[in-house]
Amino acid sequence: MKENLFKDNSVIMEKQPTPDNLQGPLLEQIESPADLKKLPAESLPRLAQEIREKIIDTVSKTGGHLSPNLGVVELTIALHYVFDSPHDKIIWDVGHQCYTHKLLTGRRDQFQTLRQFKGISGFPSRLESPHDIFDVGHSGTSISTALGLTESQKQKGEHDNIIVVIGDGSINTGLAFEGLNQTGDLESKLIVVLNDNEMSISPNVGALSAYLSRIITGKAYNRVHTELMHFLKTIPSIGPTLFRTVKQAEESFKGLIVPGLLFEELGFTYVGPIQGHNFRQLLENLKNIKNLSRRPLLLHVITKKGKGYLPAEQDPENFHGIGPFDKATGNPHKANNAHKSYTEVFCETLNELAVIDNRIIAITAGMTTGTGLVDFKKLFPQRFYDVGIAEEHAVAFAAGLATGGFRPVVAIYSTFLQRAYDQMLHDVCWPNLPVLFAIDRAGIVGEDGPTHQGLFDLSYLRHLPNLVVMTPKDENEFRHMLYTAMTLAVPVAIRYPRGKVEGVNIEKPIKTLPLGKAEVLCEGSKLAIFALGKTVSPALSAATLLKNRGISATIVNSRFVKPLDQELVCALARKTGKILTVEENVLAGGFGSALLETLEHNNITGVKVKRIGISDQFVEHGSPDILRKKYGLDAAGIFQAACELLE
């Protein structure tokens, strides 16, 4: 570990002496928050340092959310020091910043299994601990769920403290606003800790974010103050007197317009801003709040993403969610694979298309880097929008742009697009607008677990009238699909997986694909396997395994889920009498269901159909390879399913 990358905590926090009587590592002595409370407050900076080292060390091996967690070490320690979890309930928004919380609530010894199959989750999990109040992973839910819990306590006559920790990115979501709105109205006793690091994953966007910055820098007060004073002086005759009166009342006047007025108007007592790496300020304010708060209160805490680890402080965006890396340098361990990711192919192709089609506009909901739009933003700054964590708004906004004659491309991960189902239906598909949905991280996503798997999109897209749904088997098909989408005057969804593409040779030129036509990759007579997207390659490997057993199978790259190639489905059903479908999606309402419906619709009976995909359950965290094996979505699983079908 190179020393210079790790900042000495005594430097970054107020210098406080550590008592000599506390020997050995402090974290090792903490099995629960009760043990934490036994430590003298002066020793907390030392504990914070140990926790930082543990987090950096673990995440360098397992991958995970590094910079958000390093930013809230002191805040989390202080919350557990002052409040009494689990009676007092600490509710994490998104939950990606819960590592210190896990270390202090009995999961220190399992911490090295973070995000690994059968290890502890990277997000709060009620199965793991009574200190985890909700299972989360999506942004903006905390205020609403906490308010519901607060009201449930009110109904039951209970009075535990309920504390939400929400970031300045997540408080921008529509859902969080809706929660704030009702909390103020109900005057419920809810403590909202706003963890303001001026970052979402990327630097935060939007008017609220600008407002928070003005609070931090004091500009809110200064600007309004200067404008008002200037105005007063200009009022004829009474101006100078008014000016003097206001000057005298400056202190109370300050209270009226600085800071946090917006939250006060929403019905919250605003406290802050305070420094989130300073234990004295944190403990003092939290203790006061605990004793005094009887109504909604917002504590504004300023933190630094990546605090204490130089590479993460300097590049908090890349260290927001990171794979395994070398902690001495901060450099990621390189994948020994020359292949690009699907995300990279998406962004390169979109850039190419945007040069020839100036109607193309790219939209992201707070995920510029994740969706690969960094270069697009640089190349076409006027045609790029980051709307913040606001998926519903992103889709409705795209509907407006499409109505105005543009070709919006909305790039959103499969799991987060779930939020915008109604806008897809009501604002895009019903008016049949040419919006392209670039749905990244579709299928098994892996270590982020149940809230992040993209396993529902085929089911929530397939039934939307007017929508074309496709999924590519490789990088070249992906490029052709993007191009094809731009030639169609209807809404189109292309879903593609997390991770590397299949090959390295990019085909030129780019071409259109015939709408609703599948591709037969190899022909056989015993059964037909209809694969889709990521499952095409293992289906081909399964065909080789079957061939070795003397069984010939037809392998179809289905390409389109909608419109489905009904002609081919019917022909192969008649020819082989046995069909296997493979999809990385829940079986209910997915691709296999579409195929069954086609057989029914065409009155084809007597065909044996087997579908593989995800049955009625949520898929846990773990590496994609392990999960694909477990759920039978690798070559061996497809081979086995084919054998069962033939029996």
| Binding-site ranges for ligand TPP (CB under 6 A) | 68, 94, 96-97, 137-139, 167-170, 195, 197, 199-201, 305, 366-367, 389, 391, 416, 419
210 vs 489 by CB, closer to ligand TPP = 210
205 vs 354 by CB, closer to ligand TPP = 205
- Which of the residues 46, 115, 189, 419 is marked catalytic? 419
- Catalytic (active site) residue 549: no
To ligand TPP, the closest distance from the beta carbon of 548 in angstroms equals 44
To ligand TPP, the closest distance from the beta carbon of 465 in angstroms equals 26
Which residues, in sequence order, are CB contacts of 589 under 8 Å at separation 6+? 458, 459, 460, 462, 463
393 vs 611 by CB, closer to ligand TPP = 393
114 vs 529 by CB, closer to ligand TPP = 114
- Which of the residues 391, 475, 583, 584 is marked catalytic? 391
Q: What is the three-class DSSP state of 497? A: coil
CB 204 within 8 A of CB 198: yes
309 vs 631 by CB, closer to ligand TPP = 309
Query: Distance (Å, rounded) from C-alpha 619 to C-alpha 627?
Result: 8
Write the CA distances from 615 to 284, 551, 599, 601, integer angstroms.
51, 27, 21, 24
Which residues, in sequence order, are CB contacts of 147 under 8 Å at separation 6+? 179, 182, 183, 186, 188, 190
**Cα-atom radius of gyration of the chain, to the nearest Å?**
28
313 vs 565 by CB, closer to ligand TPP = 313
- Catalytic (active site) residue 284: no
- Catalytic (active site) residue 578: no
- Residues in a beta bridge with 309: 6
To ligand TPP, the closest distance from the beta carbon of 373 in angstroms equals 13
Query: Distance (Å, rounded) from C-alpha 266 to C-alpha 243?
Result: 30
Closest residue to ligand TPP: CB criterion: 167
Q: What does the H/E/C string look like for 379-417?
A: HCHHHEEECCCCHHHHHHHHHHHHHCCCEEEEEEEHHHH
Query: Distance (Å, rounded) from C-alpha 561 to C-alpha 595?
Result: 9
To ligand TPP, the closest distance from the beta carbon of 92 in angstroms equals 10
To ligand TPP, the closest distance from the beta carbon of 312 in angstroms equals 12
Query: Distance (Å, rounded) from C-alpha 405 to C-alpha 434?
Result: 9
CB 115 within 8 A of CB 322: no
To ligand TPP, the closest distance from the beta carbon of 144 in angstroms equals 13
Q: Are strands 162-167 and 89-92 parallel, antiparallel or unpaired?
A: parallel
HSE, CB side, 13 Å, CA atoms: give it for residue 251. 0
- Which of the residues 52, 304, 305, 534 is marked catalytic? 305
To ligand TPP, the closest distance from the beta carbon of 285 in angstroms equals 19
137 vs 449 by CB, closer to ligand TPP = 137
Query: Distance (Å, rounded) from C-alpha 205 to C-alpha 386?
Result: 7
The catalytic site residues sit at: 305, 391, 419
